Structure 1
Amino acid sequence: MIQSTQTARGLWTVRLNRPDKANALTPEMLEELIDTVDRAQQARALILTGVGKVFSAGADLDAARAGLATSPLWEDLSARLAALPCLKIAALNGTVAGGANGMVLACDIRIAVPGLKVFYPVMRLGYLPQPSDVVRLRALIGPARTRMLLVAGQKFSAREAYDFGLIDRIVEPEDLMSVAGDLADPTLDADPDRAAAILRSCS
């Protein structure tokens, strides 16, 4: 349910592939994502996307009831992805919900289709958000809008997410992956050490 491909130039593309369940995440999928990130240590750039019209509905409901909602796997995945020493681009093919926000926030650049919705219903569901998600949200959109998302349970549209600084570009669905590839091209063409140094300087 996790697909990954690599090119000779060092571009990794990682896809959530469970479209019949809105790419809802199971423990096995999170573990596979962690393993994929660990294998991508030599990647020059990585694009994270989903199959279908939803990036991810967050935790699979049955798995959440069985304990996934409070699993350390979420924090482990976002930490490893954030630490990956290459450019990471989230190409959001649709809505991002709940814990799936963590891997998106751990990326360096976020682009999304116009139909994107972002929500993180921890208050309604009775769970705590992952600590690093709150830190990254505050850094991107500020404390008040973080409260809108987490405390007031608001859904952000693509335009709101762009205006707030949560995503960096709105892209038509048919152009999503080509734009993501274009964003990765300068890094793939550059000297690896120089590209890594420039990326580090932006953190």
Structure 2
Amino acid sequence: MIRLERNEGLWRAIIAREAKANSLTRGMLAELADIAEAAGREGARALVLTGEGRVFSAGADLDEARAGLATDPVWERLSGAIAALPCLTVAALNGTLAGGAFGMVLACDLRIAAEGAKFFYPVMKLGFLPQPSDPRRMAALIGPARTKMILMAGQKIDATEALAWGLVDRLVAPEALEGAVAAVVADALGASAGHVAGIKRLIG
């Protein structure tokens, strides 16, 4: 249910569980973490995360969440692996982003979203704590008050507001998403892995 496409230095990991709104099982999360760790070892210059259909991911698979997935350390393993990558990482948000799926997206360098996407993380309502790194990364992007709007007030944010807040970096028509992502990874793909890593290291 995770499809990996590799072309030269570009790795694309696609969440391919459209019939279940791309909800994530433990096995899928582990596979994504494996991919991120391998991308670092094998000199990828850009890693793109995206989903099939009209939803990026609805978060944890509900059955597995009830069985303990909501608090499983695999979420932190995945977001940590993405954050540690020396290459350019891009979340191509083809649609709505919900719940624990925020972690991998917040860990990316850039977030490009399709118009019409919505963003919500209903941990207060569901009685779970967010993954430990998610509030810190979210607050670094949008500030503590807006982070509380999402995590504590349970507000659903539309794509226009997400762009204004800085939660996403660019908003495009759904049919333009692939081209927009190609444009932002083009320079990294034209450079060496060491050059990409060097610039990223300077940014911090």
- Do these two structures clear the TM 0.5 threshold for a shared fold by scoring above it? yes
Amino acid at match of 2:67: A
The DSSP-based 3-state class of the residue aligned with 1:40 is: helix
Name whichever of 39-48 and 49-58 sits farther off.
39-48
Is it true that 1:28 corresponds to 2:30 in the alignment? no
1:107-122 matches, within 5 Å, as 107-122=108-123
Matched, 1:170 2:161: no
**Offset of residue 44 of structure 1:** 0.6
Q: Say which is worse superposed, 193-202 or 40-49, in terms of deviation.
A: 193-202
1:192 shift after superposition: 2.9
In the TM superposition, what whole-angstrom CA distance separates every residue of 1:55-113 from its partner, at most 9, and x where no partner exists?
00000100000000111111110001110110001000000000000000000000001
* Contact persistence 2:18–2:53 (CA under 8 A): yes
User: Within 5 A, what are the aligned runs for 1:12-27?
Assistant: 12-27=11-26
Residue 177 of structure 1: CA displacement? 1.1
Aligned to 2:71: 70
Q: Which runs of 5+ in 2 are unaligned?
A: none
Deviation, 1:48, is: 0.6
Take 1:201 and 1:140, find their aligned partners in 2: how far apart are those partners?
19
Return the offset for 1:199.
1.5
Q: Structure 1-normalised TM-score?
A: 0.97
Written as runs of structure 1 = structure 2, the 5 A alignment for 1:47-126 is 47-126=48-127
Distance 2:167 2:118 in 1: 11
1:194 alignment counterpart: 195
Aligned-partner Cα distance in 2 for 1:68–1:127:
11
Q: CA deviation at 1:5?
A: 0.8
Conserved? CA contact 2:86–2:196, under 8 Å:
no
Distance of 1:191 and 1:4 partners within structure 2: 21
The answer (yes or no) to whether the contact 2:29–2:74 under 8 Å persists in 1 is: yes
Q: Deviations for 1:130-165, whole angstroms, at most 9, x for unmatched residues?
A: 111011011000000000000000011000100000
Find the aligned partners of 2:17 and 2:146 in 1 and give their Cα distance: 30
Q: Does 1:6 pair with 2:6?
A: yes
Distance of 1:192 and 1:34 partners within structure 2? 20
2:153 is aligned to 152
Aligned to 2:38: 39
- Map of 1:134 onto structure 2: 135
SS in 2 for 1:167: coil
Give the letter for the 1:58 counterpart.
G
The amino acid across from 2:78 in the alignment is L
Name the aligned partner's letter for residue 34 of structure 1.
A
Count of residues paired in the alignment: 202
With structure 2 as the length reference, what TM-score do the two structures score? 0.97
CA deviations on 1:103-125 (whole Å, 9 max, x unpaired) are 00000000001111110000000
Q: CA deviation at 1:194?
A: 2.3
Letter matched to residue 18 of structure 1: R
Structure 1: runs of 5+ lacking an equivalent? none
| Shift of residue 191, structure 1, vs aligned partner | 3.5
Aligned residues with identical type, % of pairs: 58
